[in-house]
């Protein structure tokens, strides 16, 4: 970097850091003067949308940009930024980057912000060496031009990608292998575009299967036979676990970018339907559960829940299946609307809209399976949805940017049943009372706030047979925190946490070693952690004895490339968390 540019950046960075440090908590709908002050935690990851053909729209108020620079900027934006800021830059986990904001800020401000990042989690793309000086300059100009719009994706495009590899009539009638499926783990190998099936008892890899790019989640059918895997490229792979050697039997691509898949669970509809939601286009698709044949596509574009303004990109985040009705609950992130989709009659489909805070992301059921605890992360709220009555039961303020995964359920020694979330934006863990019948005074409020090791948490977990609550923090900037995990004694929460050096226990070569996503085995006596390094570094899975909190096993294999999410078949199938 030239000395003059460095001097300007350092000066501006100091002023920016001071300004950020003095900011109070903000509401989810940002003011124009604050919209860029807080960057996102880097959880969005890269976006496959960048490979689609898009048209450059020139803005005369924006700095000059050639077609070649536009293509560079588009590639970088969809690889680095779109997951948090949105395809159309309307914001969600990350703040909006629309041109009314970016042009007003100007190139010098934006260049500094991109180069140095922010204490709230905006990555320091320039000073870290991730982006070159030229690339920082390209991005400074790129986000001052109108965002290009990717193409739509309907049934015609989906059917062109649909592959029925093994028809249902040719599949086994009974389980044909000796695997203990209830204790099998589906492990995401993120950068490899694969999953590993690992036996929970032997800790051996059963097989590694090709899937979509950057697998986000694995979900099980109600019967436990079928494993659904969805990548960020919106490719779904259906794996039959009953086959002599579990293998894909169908696949489809339902859009250009996605995060969520789920299957029907209500009695009489087990395994009948699957549903997947996409980030782009903003929609969800209903499919046959055993073939992935697409049946119906429903768009999410519409009005926001707070100001009733039209939003062109309500991305579909979490989807859960009701246990009380033949319904799916679908999160439309940017509008704050939960779509309650009745799948009992697809020809005359009924969708009920439940109004909640905006920027819905992830969440899970409380212990009875009746109430969906739904994280509106950029609003710092948890929406409680009664799936039996089909309505919003409560809205609970929590910490900064909740990111619970599916959350954690346990019985608090003082307040009764609670559901817990950790946070991306601060070090706290919020415990919410979930028993309106026997503990009505504690229901739908934060009954206790724990202080964990630090912000940057993505997941926390416990188990009905455990007395431990595990909290990760893989996005914390301090390696002593990101390479460890905090564990609380549920019966003595006031004593604080112990910090276990999981990364050190892994015994892998030097690398990022971010510890992510605690997951229990079927019996609830082991906790598995991903030791997540980059694709060129060594990763591993560490297994800890839940009772003693001691190291039990380390799973190493050259095929374990960037392991992240782990999904135990029984626990995922039965919503145990």
Q: List the beta bridge partners of residue 291.
A: none
The token duo for 513 is 């070693």
| pLDDT given for residue 51 in this prediction | 63
Q: Is 122 a catalytic residue?
A: yes
Q: Return d(Cα 573, Cα 575) in angstroms, integer.
A: 6
* Catalytic residue list contains 9: no
At a CB cut-off of 8 Å and minimum separation 6, what does 229 contact? 186, 195, 211, 212, 215, 217, 218, 236, 237, 239, 261
Least Cα distance to 540 among 567, 513, 520, 519 occurs for 513
Q: Which SS3 state, helix, strand or coil, does residue 505 take? A: helix
Catalytic-residue membership of 403: yes
In this prediction, residue 29 carries a pLDDT of 34
DSSP E strands, 387-423: 391-397, 408-412, 416-422
Q: Which of 122, 158, 287, 373 is catalytic?
A: 122
pLDDT at position 477 is 87
DSSP state of 147: P
pLDDT at 58: 66
116-159 pLDDT tens trace? 887 566 778 888 788 999 999 999 999 999 988 889 999 999 99
**Active-site position among 9, 41, 81, 158:** 81
Task: From residue 541, give the alpha-carbon distance in Å to each of 179, 283, 406, 409, 505.
Answer: 20, 35, 20, 24, 10
**Residue 85 annotated among the catalytic residues of the structure:** yes
pTM, to two decimals: 0.85
What count of other Cβ atoms lies within 10 Å of the Cβ of residue 454? 20
Q: Which helix (H) or strand (E) holds 450?
A: strand 446-451
Cis peptide before 281 (omega within 30 of 0): yes
CB atoms closer than 10 angstroms to residue 21: 8
Active-site annotation holder among 9, 41, 65, 85: 85
- Among 487, 509, 522, 491, which Cα is nearest to 180's? 522
Q: Looking at residue 75, what is its pLDDT? A: 86
Residues 6+ apart with CB under 8 A from 443: 394, 433, 434, 435, 436
Burial of 490: CB neighbours in 10 Å, binned 0-12, 13-18, 19+: middle
**Residue 358, CA atoms < 13 Å, CB-side half-sphere:** 23
CA distance 527 to 546: 6
**Closest by alpha carbon to 336, among 369, 285, 366, 381?**
381
CA dihedral 109, 114, 119, 121 (to 10 degrees): 140
Whether the Cβ atoms of residue 161 and residue 253 lie closer than 8 Å to each other: yes
Beta strands in 452-561 (DSSP E): 460-461, 468-471, 485-489, 497-500, 514-520, 526-532, 540-545, 551-555
Q: How many CB atoms lie within 10 A of CB 483?
A: 24
User: For residue 241, what are its two tokens?
Assistant: 């676990």
Structure tokens at 88: 């159309």
CB crowding 49-85: b at 16 or more within 10 Å, else e? bbebebebeeeeebeebeeebbebbbbbbbebbbbbb
Q: What pLDDT is stored for residue 18 in this prediction?
A: 28
Residue-level pLDDT at 15? 32
pLDDT at 158: 98
In degrees rounded to 5, what are phi and psi of residue 66?
A: -80, 165
Query: What is the block-wise mean pLDDT of the chain (577 residues), using blocks of 10 residues?
Result: 36 32 30 36 53 66 89 86 84 84 93 82 80 93 90 96 98 98 97 96 98 92 97 95 98 95 97 97 98 98 96 95 98 97 97 97 97 96 98 98 97 98 97 97 98 96 98 94 98 97 97 97 98 94 98 97 97 96
N-term to C-term CA, the chain: 49
Residue 118: partners with Cβ closer than 8 Å, 6 or more residues away: 16, 17, 20, 37, 38, 39
Q: Whole-angstrom Cα distance, residue 367 to residue 436?
A: 12
Active-site pick, 216, 339, 403, 423 = 403
Q: Which residue in 33, 32, 111, 120 sits closest to 84, CA to CA?
A: 120
Asked if 226 and 220 touch (Cβ cutoff 8 Å), the reply is: yes
81 is catalytic: yes
Catalytic pick among 9, 84, 158, 373? 84
Known catalytic membership, residue 463: no
pLDDT of 355 reads 98
pLDDT of residue 50: 61
**Which residue in the list 339, 361, 423, 463 is annotated as catalytic?**
361
């Amino acid at each position: 970097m030239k000395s003059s540019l460095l001097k300007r950046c350092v000066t501006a960075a100091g002023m920016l850091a001071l300004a950020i440090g003095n900011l109070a908590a903000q509401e989810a709908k940002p003011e124009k003067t604050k919209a860029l002050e807080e960057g996102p935690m880097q959880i969005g990851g890269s976006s496959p949308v960048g490979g689609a053909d898009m048209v450059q729209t020139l803005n005369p108020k924006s700095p000059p940009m050639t077609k070649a620079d536009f293509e560079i900027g588009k590639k970088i934006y969809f690889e680095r930024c779109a997951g948090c800021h949105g395809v159309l830059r309307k914001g969600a986990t990350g703040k909006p980057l629309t041109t009314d904001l970016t042009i007003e800020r100007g190139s010098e401000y934006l260049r500094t912000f991109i180069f140095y990042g922010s204490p709230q989690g905006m990555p320091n793309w320039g000073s870290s060496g991730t982006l070159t000086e030229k690339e920082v300059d390209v991005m400074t100009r790129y986000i001052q031009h109108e965002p290009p719009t990717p193409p739509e994706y309907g049934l015609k495009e989906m059917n062109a990608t649909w592959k029925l590899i093994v028809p249902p009539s040719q599949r086994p009638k009974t389980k044909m292998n000796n695997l203990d499926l209830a204790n099998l783990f589906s492990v995401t190998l993120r950068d490899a575009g694969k999953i590993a099936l690992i036996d929970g008892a032997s800790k051996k890899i059963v097989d590694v299967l090709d899937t979509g790019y950057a697998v986000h989640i694995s979900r099980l059918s109600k019967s436990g036979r079928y494993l659904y895997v969805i990548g960020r490229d919106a490719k779904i792979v259906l794996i039959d676990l009953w086959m002599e050697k579990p293998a894909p039997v169908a696949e489809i691509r339902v859009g250009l970018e996605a995060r969520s898949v789920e299957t029907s669970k209500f009695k009489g509809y087990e395994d009948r339907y699957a549903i997947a939601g996409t980030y782009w286009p903003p929609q969800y698709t209903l499919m046959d559960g055993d073939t992935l044949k697409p049946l119906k596509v429903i768009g999410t574009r519409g009005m926001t829940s707070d100001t009733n303004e039209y939003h062109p990109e309500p991305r579909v985040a979490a989807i859960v299946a009701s246990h009380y009705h033949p319904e799916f609950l679908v999160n439309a992130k940017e509008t704050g609307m939960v779509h309650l989709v009745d799948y009992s009659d697809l020809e005359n489909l009924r969708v009920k809209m439940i109004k909640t805070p905006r920027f819905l992301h992830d969440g899970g059921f409380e212990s009875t399976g009746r109430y969906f605890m739904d994280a509106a992360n950029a609003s710092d709220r948890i929406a409680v949805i009664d799936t039996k009555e089909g309505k919003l039961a409560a809205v609970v303020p929590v910490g900064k940017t909740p990111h619970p995964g599916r959350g954690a359920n346990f019985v608090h020694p003082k307040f009764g049943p609670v559901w817990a979330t950790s946070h991306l934006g601060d070090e706290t863990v919020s415990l919410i009372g979930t028993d309106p019948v026997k503990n009505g005074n504690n229901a739908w409020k934060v009954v206790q706030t724990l202080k964990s090791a630090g912000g940057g948490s993505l997941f926390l977990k416990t188990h009905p047979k455990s007395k431990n609550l595990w909290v990760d923090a893989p996005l914390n900037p301090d390696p002593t925190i990101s390479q460890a995990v905090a564990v609380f004694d549920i019966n003595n929460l006031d004593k604080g946490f112990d910090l276990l050096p999981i990364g050190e226990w892994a015994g892998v070569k030097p690398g990022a070693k971010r510890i992510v996503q605690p997951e229990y085995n079927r019996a609830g006596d082991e906790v598995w952690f991903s030791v997540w390094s980059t694709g060129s570094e060594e990763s591993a899975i560490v297994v800890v004895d839940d009772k003693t909190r001691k190291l039990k096993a380390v799973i190493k294999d050259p095929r374990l490339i960037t392991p992240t999410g782990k999904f135990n078949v029984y626990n995922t199938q039965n919503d145990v968390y």
